[in-house]
Amino acid sequence: MEKENTDAKKMERKLYEAAVEGSVISLLSLLQEDALLLDRFITGRYPETPLHVASMLGHLEFVDEIISRKPELAKEVDSRKSSPLHLAVAKGYLDIAKRLLQVNPDMCHVCDFDGRNPLHIAAIKGHINVLRELIRARPWAARSLMDEGETILHACVRYNQLEAMKLLMEIADHEFVNCKNYDGNTILHLAIADKQTETIHYLISGTTIEVNCENADGFTPLDLLSQNERNLKEKEIVESLRRIGAVHAKDKPLSDRQLKAIRIKILSSPSISNQTNASKPKKSKVRKRFKINSYADWLEKKRGTLMLVASLLATMAFQVGVNPPSGVWQDTSPSDSSSMATSPSDSSSMATSPSDSSSMASNKPDHKAGFSVMADTDSDTYTLFLIANTTGFMASLSIILLLVSGLPLRHRFFMWILMVVMWVAITAMALTYTMSVMAVTPDHADSALINIRYAVYGWIGIMGLLLLAHTIRLIIRLIKYLLKLVVRLINLISTL
Residue whose C-alpha is closest to residue 107's, from 115, 120, 116, 117: 117
Range 147-163 average pLDDT: 92
pLDDT for residue 102: 94
pLDDT for residue 325: 84
pLDDT tens digits along 293-326: 445 556 667 778 888 888 998 998 898 888 888 7
pLDDT tens digits along 321-344: 888 887 877 777 765 444 444 444
pLDDT for residue 254: 52
Residue ranges matching CATH 1.25.40.20 in the chain: 1-144, 168-268
Whether residue 210 is predicted with pLDDT greater than 70 in this model: the reply is yes
* Alpha helices (runs of H) in 22-117, residue ranges in sequence order: 24-33, 50-57, 60-69, 84-91, 94-103
- In percent, the amount of the chain with pLDDT more than 90 equals 30
Half-sphere exposure of 38 (CA within 13 A, CB side): 25
Whether residue 233 is predicted with pLDDT greater than 70 in this model: the reply is no
CA distance 399 to 307: 7
CA distance 151 to 149: 7
The count of other CB atoms within 10 Å of the CB of residue 72 is: 15
Position with higher pLDDT, 418 vs 494:
418
- pLDDT band per the 50, 70, 90 thresholds, residue 365: low
The SS3 call for residue 102 is helix
CATH C-level class of 168-268 = mainly alpha
Position with higher pLDDT, 74 vs 12:
74
Distance, CA of 363 to chain centre: 60
Inter-CA distances, 275 with 80, 81, 114, 271, Å: 12, 14, 8, 6
Average pLDDT, the chain: 78
pLDDT tens digits along 19-59: 999 999 999 999 998 888 888 888 767 888 999 999 999 99
- pLDDT band per the 50, 70, 90 thresholds, residue 74: very high
Whole-angstrom Cα Rg for the chain: 34
The verdict on domain 1-144 having CATH code 1.10.3300.10 is no
The contacts of residue 404 (CB under 8 Å, 6+ apart) are 307
The 3-class SS string of 147-186 reads: HHHCCHHHHHHHCCCHHHHHHHHHHCCHHHHCCCCCCCCC
Inter-CA distances, 206 with 127, 131, 157, 198, 200, Å: 22, 21, 15, 11, 10
- pLDDT band per the 50, 70, 90 thresholds, residue 264: low
CA distance 412 to 75: 36
The contacts of residue 465 (CB under 8 Å, 6+ apart) are none
| Residues paired with residue 372 on neighbouring β-strands, in sequence order | 328
Whether residue 288 is predicted with pLDDT greater than 60 in this model: the reply is no
* Residue 26, phi then psi, degrees to nearest 5: -65, -40
Inter-CA distances, 495 with 225, 227, 233, 239, 490, Å: 17, 16, 19, 9, 9
The count of other CB atoms within 10 Å of the CB of residue 248 is: 17
pLDDT tens digits along 108-129: 999 998 899 999 999 999 999 9
| Residues paired with residue 328 on neighbouring β-strands, in sequence order | 372
- pLDDT band per the 50, 70, 90 thresholds, residue 96: very high
Q: Is the dihedral of CA 276, 281, 282, 286 positive or negative?
A: positive
